[in-house]
Amino acid sequence: MKIHLCLAHMSGNEQRYISEAFADNWVVPLGPNVDAFEDDLSRFLTSGAPDLSALRVAAVCSGTAAIHLALVMLGVAAGDEVICQSFTFAASANPIVYQGATPVFIDSEPDTWNMDPALLDKAIADRMAKTGRLPKAIVVVHLYGMPAKMDEILAIAAKWRIPVVEDAAEALGSKYKGRQCGTFGRFGTLSFNGNKMITTSGGGAVVCPDEDARRLAVFYATQAREPRPYYEHEKIGFNYRLSNISAGIGRGQMTILDSHLKRHRDIAALYAELFNDVEGFTFHGNPSPDFDSNFWLSTIVIDPQLTGGLTPEKVRLHLASLEVESRQLWKPMHSQPVFEQAPAYVNGVSSHLFSRGLCLPSGPWVTDDDVRMIVNEIIKCSRKS
Ligand SMILES: *Cc1c(COP(=O)(O)O)cnc(C)c1O
């Protein structure tokens, strides 16, 4: 059986919620599963954090849609600039372009692989000097589940009075200084795509500061209908709400989120232990106790000098021949052909990681023996090369 990077894994409770939706004829993009899934999510994000008690969640059809709605609510429009982490999946940046705005990419720092706070501050000052205007928002990402340096980033954002959108698509259950990722920005966004920590087959959520903000997100996600007996529109809306069927899957998944998180973290600990002291391989672990990654995927960096010129691609091909899926780290957005024209503030960190890093399988389907086999095979590649 093939070992995947991260494969959807059901609890067995999903079918019950889906059957209820059919029995009650709630086969629409609203209903009891959507409401209950949103409540489950807000309870999960705020548990143990009384200061977050006003926080509410709006369930939508994808993580990309969630980011788009956050930008819409922040008033991002044609001609604006929006700061975005360069080292990420394209879905962090694409919604900026949907709004006719320009992404301005910021490179990473080496501890977390996320947005470099010092570079962020410099970039904002430089945009201000060059364009006479401040960027409209900052999209920061917790890549592979590793929390970004949120204290520093929020302090810089506050100094310049720029709102933060927190792309926590890969970071459900990750914590920074004891607080859940997705709850730090003006808006947080989550993804429940098939390969993420939990799945609704496809789906996402906007984490909102309060019920008013949640209502606004739902308003834009349901075609921006004014409260009239007929269809009246004063704003451009979207068809982004989550289906009540998908939300049923989400409710089932919430019953095993804690066990998924534990498995991802246990697997990461095993990779870290097995790679410890192996020349040329560095496991990407929490840089300090302030960071508590969900380890959505386990990631390593390979030093070609110490491994006889070993590259991530050589390892990927070898693992693929054994039916094990692995993948090079994200290619930075500032080097993507589609974003060639976008301003970028770079320091070499994400390019370095892209050329040397590899994602390894994780999740409930991956056994300890799988992890041992994968690490042995990678070390074998190094000896051969
Ligand atoms: C998956 C992902 C998204 C988009 O989520 P979808 O639900 O697939 O639209 C956004 N950002 C990051 C970093 C992701 O990994």
Written as one string, the DSSP assignment of 259-271 is: HHHHHHHHHHHHH
d(CA 243, CA 7): 22
Residue whose CA is at the smallest distance from ligand 1 atom 5: 63
Tell the burial category of 296 from Cβ atoms under 10 Å away from its Cβ (0-12, 13-18, 19+): buried
The H helix count followed by the E strand count for the chain is: 12, 15
Residue whose CA is at the smallest distance from ligand 1 atom 7: 63
Contact status, residue 136 vs residue 112, Cβ threshold 8 Å: no
Ligand 1 centroid, distance to 44 Cα (angstroms):
20
Q: Using CA of residue 169, residue 36, residue 259, residue 20, what is the dihedral sign?
A: negative
Q: What is the pTM of this model?
A: 0.97
What six digits make up the tokens of 23? Answer: 């029995």
d(CA 147, CA 275): 22
Ligand 1: residues with CB < 6 A are 62-64, 88-89, 91-92, 141, 167, 169-170, 191, 193, 204
Ligand 1 centroid, distance to 64 Cα (angstroms):
6
pLDDT in tens, the chain (385 residues): 899 999 999 999 999 999 999 999 998 888 999 999 999 999 999 999 999 999 999 999 999 999 999 999 999 999 999 999 999 999 999 999 999 999 999 999 999 999 999 999 999 999 999 999 999 999 999 999 999 999 999 999 999 999 999 999 999 999 999 999 999 999 999 999 999 999 999 999 999 999 999 999 999 999 999 999 999 999 999 999 999 999 999 999 999 999 999 999 999 999 999 999 899 999 999 999 999 999 999 999 999 999 999 999 999 999 999 999 999 999 999 999 999 999 999 999 999 999 999 999 999 999 999 999 999 999 999 877 6
Contact status, residue 363 vs residue 194, Cβ threshold 8 Å: no
What six digits make up the tokens of 107? Answer: 């490179």
Around 186, how many Cα atoms within 13 Å sit in the side-chain half-sphere? 22
Which atom number of ligand 1 is nearest to the Cα of residue 91? 10
**Residue carrying structure tokens 């310049």:** 160
Question: 3-state class of 140 per DSSP?
Answer: strand
d(CA 139, CA 110): 18
Question: 3-state class of 283 per DSSP?
Answer: strand
Comparing CA positions, the residue from 173, 196, 168, 144 lying closest to residue 7 is: 196
